[in-house]
Amino acid sequence: MSALFERVAFLGLGHIGSSLCHAIRRGRIASHISGYAQSAKTRETAKRIGLVDSIHETASEAVSNADLVILCVPVGACGAVAAEMASSLKPGAILTDVGSVKAAIVRDVAPHLPKGVEFIPGHPIAGTEQSGPESGFAELFHNRWCILTPLPDSDPDAVSRLEKFWQACGSNVELMTPEHHDLVLAITSHLPHLIAYNTVATAADLEEVTNSEVIKYSAGGFRDFTRIAASDPTMWRDVFLNNREAVLEMLGRFSEDLSALQRAIRWGDGEALFNLFTRAREVRRSIIAAGQETAAPNFGRDQGQR
Amino acid sequence: MSALFERVAFLGLGHIGSSLCHAIRRGRIASHISGYAQSAKTRETAKRIGLVDSIHETASEAVSNADLVILCVPVGACGAVAAEMASSLKPGAILTDVGSVKAAIVRDVAPHLPKGVEFIPGHPIAGTEQSGPESGFAELFHNRWCILTPLPDSDPDAVSRLEKFWQACGSNVELMTPEHHDLVLAITSHLPHLIAYNTVATAADLEEVTNSEVIKYSAGGFRDFTRIAASDPTMWRDVFLNNREAVLEMLGRFSEDLSALQRAIRWGDGEALFNLFTRAREVRRSIIAAGQETAAPNFGRDQGQR
Closest B-chain CA to A181 = B209
B172 and A CB contact within 8 Å: no
Q: Do A287 and B215 touch (CB under 8 A)?
A: yes
Higher pLDDT among residues A116 and B291, named by residue: A116
In this structure, what DSSP letter does residue B6 have? E
Three-state SS at B68 = strand
Q: What percent of chain B has pLDDT over 90?
A: 83
Q: Do A211 and B251 touch (CB under 8 A)?
A: no
The pLDDT score that the predictor gives to residue B306 is 27
Q: Do A233 and B202 touch (CB under 8 A)?
A: no
Closest B-chain CA to A269 = B241
> What is the b/e burial string over A252-264, where b = at least 16 CB atoms within 10 angstroms of the residue's CB?
ebbeebbeebbeb
Give residue B289's pLDDT band: very low, low, confident or very high (50, 70, 90). Answer: confident
The pLDDT score that the predictor gives to residue B1 is 55
Residue from B174, B181, B209 to probe the interface with A (highest A Cβ count within 10 Å): B209
B211 and A CB contact within 8 Å: yes
| pLDDT single digits (tens) A235-261 | 999 999 999 999 999 999 999 999 999
The pLDDT score that the predictor gives to residue A295 is 58
Q: Do A187 and B214 touch (CB under 8 A)?
A: yes
CA–CA min distance B61, chain A (Å): 31
Q: Do B253 and A199 touch (CB under 8 A)?
A: no
Average pLDDT over residues A293-298: 54
Residues of B in contact with A148 (CB under 8 A): none
CA distances from A182 to A104, A242, B212 (A): 9, 10, 16
A216 and B CB contact within 8 Å: yes
B114, with CB counted inside 10 A (0-12, 13-18, 19+), is exposed
In this structure, what DSSP letter does residue B115 have? T
Average pLDDT over residues B220-246: 93
CA–CA min distance B73, chain A (Å): 16
B 13-42: CB under 8 A from A: none
Average pLDDT over residues A71-100: 97
Q: Do A247 and B265 touch (CB under 8 A)?
A: yes
CA distances from B170 to A71, A182, A199, A221, B237 (A): 48, 46, 29, 20, 29
Which residues, at least 6 apart from A21, have a Cβ–Cβ distance to it below 8 Å? Answer: A10, A13, A33, A35, A51, A52, A136
| pLDDT single digits (tens) B164-218 | 999 999 999 999 999 999 999 999 999 999 999 999 999 999 988 998 999 999 9
A280 and B CB contact within 8 Å: yes
Predicted confidence (pLDDT) at residue B298 exceeds the cutoff of 70 = no
A303 and B CB contact within 8 Å: yes
pTM for this model (two decimals): 0.88
Q: Do B202 and A254 touch (CB under 8 A)?
A: yes
What is the overall mean pLDDT for chain A? 93
B 142-171: CB under 8 A from A: 142-145, 147
Of B135, B215, B262, the CB nearest to A297: B135
Of A189, A206, A302, the CB nearest to B220: A189
- Distance from C-alpha of B66 to C-alpha of B90, rounded to nearest angstrom: 7
| pLDDT single digits (tens) B34-82 | 999 999 999 999 999 999 999 999 999 999 999 999 999 999 999 999 9
B 63-92: CB under 8 A from A: 76
Average pLDDT over residues A31-48: 98
ipTM: 0.88
Q: Which of B274, B199, B277 is nearest to A201 (CA)?
A: B277
Predicted confidence (pLDDT) at residue B295 exceeds the cutoff of 70 = no
Q: What are phi and psi of A186, to 5 degrees?
A: -60, -40
Give residue B300's pLDDT band: very low, low, confident or very high (50, 70, 90). Answer: very low
Residue from B293, B294, B303 to probe the interface with A (highest A Cβ count within 10 Å): B293
Q: Do A142 and B306 touch (CB under 8 A)?
A: yes
CA angle A287, A289, A291 (to 5 degrees): 75
| pLDDT single digits (tens) B138-178 | 999 999 999 999 999 999 999 999 999 999 999 999 999 99
Q: Which domains does chain B have, with CATH numbers?
A: 5-176 (3.40.50.720), 180-268 (1.10.3660.10)
A245 and B CB contact within 8 Å: no
| pLDDT single digits (tens) A159-217 | 999 999 999 999 999 999 999 999 999 999 999 999 999 999 999 999 889 989 999 99
